[in-house]
Amino acid sequence: MERVGFIGLGRMGRPMASNMCRKGFHLTVYDVNADAVAELASLQARPAASVAEVAKESDVIITMLPNSAIVGHVVSGPGGVLENAKSGALILDMSTVDPETTLRLAREAAAKGLGFVDAPVGRLASHADRGESLFMVGGSDKDFKRVEPMLKAMGSTIYHCGEVGSGTKTKLVNNFLAVASCQMNAEALALSQQFGLTLERTLEVLYGTTAFNGQLKIAWPDKVLAGDIAPGFTIDLAHKDLTLVVESANAAKVPMPMAAAAREAFSQARARGFGGNDFSAMVDAHCDAANIRKPRLAK
């Protein structure tokens, strides 16, 4: 079995690495949060003192990090993965970053005799807890087969989308629809509240028409409409992803007026102090701004 390094033990990375440990993988782990490293050590992972130590000890180096800048620094910066990984190792980046970062790092990895696969995640932290993450994977057939057992240890659904960069690009398309729909749902439910409509009956009607969407029917009733705004995926992170969508689309000369409008709505929510809440709480932010009672299902 290949030796695996795991860098980034945040809300998503920690349960993913934990599931790998439970399924027999031998991990070397690193994070700036010592408590996260200690938690993985209790599952028999080997704690590392630096990114460089992880890279030197591993055949496959997994990164699960917050943004493009941090991924770039960890992989290609001083003391990073590229400086310290042995020839023939493979980098598996599961972060959500801009496509140019993915492609640049893949080129730099190839120049050093390293493989590179991008495999951003398409579900929430609660899915990661249960080992039910969804992965959108970009990489060669050979490299995909190499990382597939690791992805299966962390998730239940894996799509090989094409060559390097395809996973990251697919993630941005997916997140544009998932995140932007939150703003449309927020405005629709705020309007229903102001009209004095019954929330339960309004949802029943929407679920039976083409207005139906997965956020409104599957996610929201168990989150914001039940009064639970604890973050599975924060408004701050959703705003970051919409920024990646808009900027990547601009670079590709694809107009995205809906994405731009949604991003500004998320900017307003962040400015009003909602950034750390679950992204379903966009409806709370919108109602708060309009002085409308927050919609809640009867318990």
- What is d(CA 157, CA 154) in angstroms, rounded to the nearest whole number? 9
Widest CA span in the chain: 65
DSSP 281: G
Pick the closest to residue 128 from 271, 12, 232 (CA basis): 12
- What is d(CA 113, CA 214) in angstroms, rounded to the nearest whole number? 42
CA angle 13, 241, 79 (to 5 degrees): 50
Considering 171, 223, 240, 294, which one is annotated as catalytic?
Answer: 171
Count of alpha carbons within 13 Å of 115, Cβ hemisphere only? Answer: 22
- What is d(CA 144, CA 72) in angstroms, rounded to the nearest whole number? 22
- The reply to whether 294 belongs to the active site is no
Catalytic site positions:
171
